[in-house]
């Protein structure tokens, strides 16, 4: 994909604030700190379009980015971050669930899981929610640059088991550091857009 333009559009707090032009959109979900914003920046060849942080909980709203005036990338708040007050967590939860369940232009949700760790119950819950909502999903294993050679296959299979994915289900290894997986994700997105 040739990125001609990639611009921040809006931080939505409720569905009414999301764009209503019907352009296709692609969203990224996953635990806080898993690398959602970094993956987006990597895909778009930008260093800091989506704000990243070593501290979990950076992204707190539904953030829209207009790509080539053709489609949207949607950066979502991470889940599973303990240090946020329960009331705030519940608020995010409602906003996110509402968005994921009812957003018509949503073409694909990329669910990110840190390749170093076992998926959590929250990861499983998210996939289940998307499954029930009949939203197409793709699991992406992030930060694979941090894995040693021998861990790779084992860790990917651990994600497959933990999320109860099919034997053949695609899990895309990704690294924002080395850009591994970037081409694969673009290929999938381009196919949907075509």
Q: Which residues bind ligand GTP (CB under 6 A)?
A: 30, 32-38, 52-54, 56-59, 77-78, 142-143, 145-146, 175-177
Write the DSSP symbol of residue 79: B
CB of 22 to ligand GTP, least distance (A): 27
Return the number of the residue (20 or 178) whose C-beta is nearest ligand GTP.
178
Residue 145 interacts with which of Mg ion, ligand GTP, none, CB < 5 to 8 Å by class = ligand GTP
Instruction: Give the β-pairing of 6-12 and 62-67.
Output: antiparallel
Helix (H) or strand (E) holding 99: helix 86-102
Return the number of the residue (18 or 176) whose C-beta is nearest ligand GTP.
176
CB of 20 to ligand GTP, least distance (A): 25
Residue 32 interacts with which of Mg ion, ligand GTP, none, CB < 5 to 8 Å by class = ligand GTP
Q: Does 59 bind Mg ion (CB under 5 A)?
A: yes
Return the number of the residue (80 or 106) whose C-beta is nearest ligand GTP.
80
CB of 39 to Mg ion, least distance (A): 9
d(CA 111, CA 144): 15
Residue 56 interacts with which of Mg ion, ligand GTP, none, CB < 5 to 8 Å by class = ligand GTP
Render 141-175 in DSSP notation, one character per residue: EE-GGGS-TTHHHHHHHHHHHHTT--TT--EEE--
Binding mask 8-47 for Mg ion (x = CB under 5 A): ----------------------------xx----------
d(CA 149, CA 162): 21
Could you list the beta-strand ranges (E) of the chain.
6-12, 25-30, 62-67, 71-75, 106-114, 137-142, 171-173
Helix (H) or strand (E) holding 90: helix 86-102
Closest CA to 110 of 56, 173, 58: 173
CB of 160 to Mg ion, least distance (A): 25
Interface contacts to Mg ion, rule CB under 5 A? 36-37, 58-59
């Amino acid at each position: 994909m040739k990125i001609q333009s990639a611009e921040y559009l809006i931080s939505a707090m409720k569905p009414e604030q999301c764009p209503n032009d019907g352009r296709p959109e692609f969203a990224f979900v996953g635990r806080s700190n898993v690398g959602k914003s970094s993956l987006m920046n990597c895909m778009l060849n930008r260093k800091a379009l989506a704000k990243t942080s070593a501290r979990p909980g950076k992204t707190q709203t539904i953030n829209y980015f207009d790509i080539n005036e053709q489609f949207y990338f949607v950066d979502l708040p991470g889940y599973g971050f303990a240090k946020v007050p329960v009331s705030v967590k519940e608020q995010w939860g409602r906003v996110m669930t509402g968005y994921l369940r009812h957003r018509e232009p949503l073409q694909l949700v990329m669910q990110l899981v840190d390749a170093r760790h076992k998926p959590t119950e929250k990861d499983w819950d998210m996939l289940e929610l998307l499954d029930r909502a009949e939203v197409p999903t793709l699991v992406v294993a992030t930060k694979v640059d941090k894995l040693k050679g021998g861990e790779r296959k084992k860790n990917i299979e651990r994600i497959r088991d933990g999320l109860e994915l099919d034997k053949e289900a695609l899990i895309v290894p990704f690294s924002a550091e080395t850009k591994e997986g970037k081409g694969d994700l673009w290929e999938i997105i381009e196919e949907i857009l075509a």
